[in-house]
Amino acid sequence: MTDVFICDAIRTPVGKYGGGLSAVRADDLAAIPIKTLLERNQQIEAVAFDDVLMGCANQAGEDNRNIARMALLLAGMPESVPGVTINRLCSSGMEAIGMAARAIKAGEAELIIAGGAESMSRSPFVMPKHTSAFSRQAEIYDSTIGWRFVNEKFQKKYGTDPLICTAENLAAEFSISREDQDRFAHNSQLKTAEAQQNGALAREIIPVSIPQRKGDPVIFEKDEHPRLTSLEKLVTLNPVYGPGTTVTAGNASGINDGAAAVIVASEAAVKRFNLTPKVRVLGTQAAGVPPRTMGIGPVPATNKLLKRLGMSLDQMDIIELNEAFAAQSLACTRSLGMDDDDPRLNPLGGAIALGHPLGMSGARLVTTAVYQLQNKTSKYALCTMCVGVGQGVSMVLEKV
């Protein structure tokens, strides 16, 4: 099988809920990194791309009609280029990159744009149809995050624990204290604050121009979710589910907006279009876990992938673990035999600081890892994340 390379990667800043990107439709948001990749790689004729794969978790609003296809056309790509939207919930963006890599390895494609997008600010309310004639019952669900239209058979067999409950389940199962969660969250904020100050994050971000009704557009160029505060302040936050629980707004990821995309290419495409490969995609692996402890998914996914590749965690120079919750992250790192403050873990901060736009997050992890691997001493990166309804996905990258 042919080697697969990521030759370029870019993302928008991550917007907070109702914040800087909330005025941008999801399909327009997804088009931004695609258009940027085309502009930065003009030696590639856009018609040469075999496909565009974009992850998106919601698909209940402005993102409902195959956002990948809409975004590629909005970005100015030819009508002959197809597009498909992938949904593996939180890992959709990483899954899109993994599927692109598999297609190229199998010889069924040479050049693909892959990534993910999510506008959680613009996720709509949704209503079910009546199940009987002349019913006067009315229901409405917020599609921003979590369960809706629950299947009673699934509820009976597995339960439908809200995401915060799944983190509480892991905190109880692994005896993860509130103190340790707050310390982990604070460290994430510290790392992100430093990365914003020294420009490490700016390398991977394309500014977004937000048109205004009057005056010049607003240029949105910096992640706006980070909220560095003191550890003493984090300790004072009330747990979401009240006394006896541990998850707070301070030690959990956010509800966010954003988009990211990468160019995935075969060795032949690299030579044909004079591309500069940044990293080699060594493999991607998914695994299933109980839905009530969905946050532990990165552990079996990582173990399965490393075994298949004949590698060990000790070989990883960078470990980008999506921080859905501090409790969930610590359950994973401790199960993998890592220290809580392992310097390889999320060196620029994680989702607790940066935010978690569901369909984008996996592509954001990969993009961040690609840029960090350009460090002379770094060779391998592991990107891994948990997935709602009980899954995990992991990917290993090698610097070229």
Predicted confidence band of residue 380 (pLDDT cuts 50, 70, 90): very high
| Upper half-sphere CA count for residue 31 (Cβ side, 13 Å) | 17
3-state DSSP assignment of residue 242 = coil
How high is the mean pLDDT of the chain? Answer: 97
Orientation angle between helical segments 67-74 and 26-40, nearest 10 degrees: 50
Strands 318-321 and 380-387: parallel
Predicted confidence band of residue 116 (pLDDT cuts 50, 70, 90): very high
> Is residue 209 predicted with pLDDT exceeding 90?
yes
133 contact partners, CB below 8 Å, separation of at least 6 = none
Q: Rounded to an integer, what distance in angstroms lies between the CA atom of residue 185 and that of residue 133?
A: 51
Whole-number pLDDT of residue 186: 98
Q: What is the pTM of this model?
A: 0.97
H helix count then E strand count, the chain: 12, 14
Predicted confidence band of residue 136 (pLDDT cuts 50, 70, 90): confident
- When pLDDT is averaged across residues 182-200 and rounded to a whole number, the result is 98
Q: 4-123+254-399 is classed in which CATH architecture?
A: 3-Layer(aba) Sandwich (3.40)
What amino acid positions are annotated as catalytic residues? Answer: 90, 356, 386
Predicted confidence band of residue 138 (pLDDT cuts 50, 70, 90): confident
Predicted confidence band of residue 369 (pLDDT cuts 50, 70, 90): very high
> Is residue 137 predicted with pLDDT exceeding 90?
no
301 contact partners, CB below 8 Å, separation of at least 6 = 285, 286, 287, 384, 391, 392, 393, 394
* DSSP string covering 129-147: PPSSTT------EETTSS-
- When pLDDT is averaged across residues 260-283 and rounded to a whole number, the result is 98
State pLDDT tens for residues 338-355.
999 999 999 999 999 999
243 contact partners, CB below 8 Å, separation of at least 6 = none
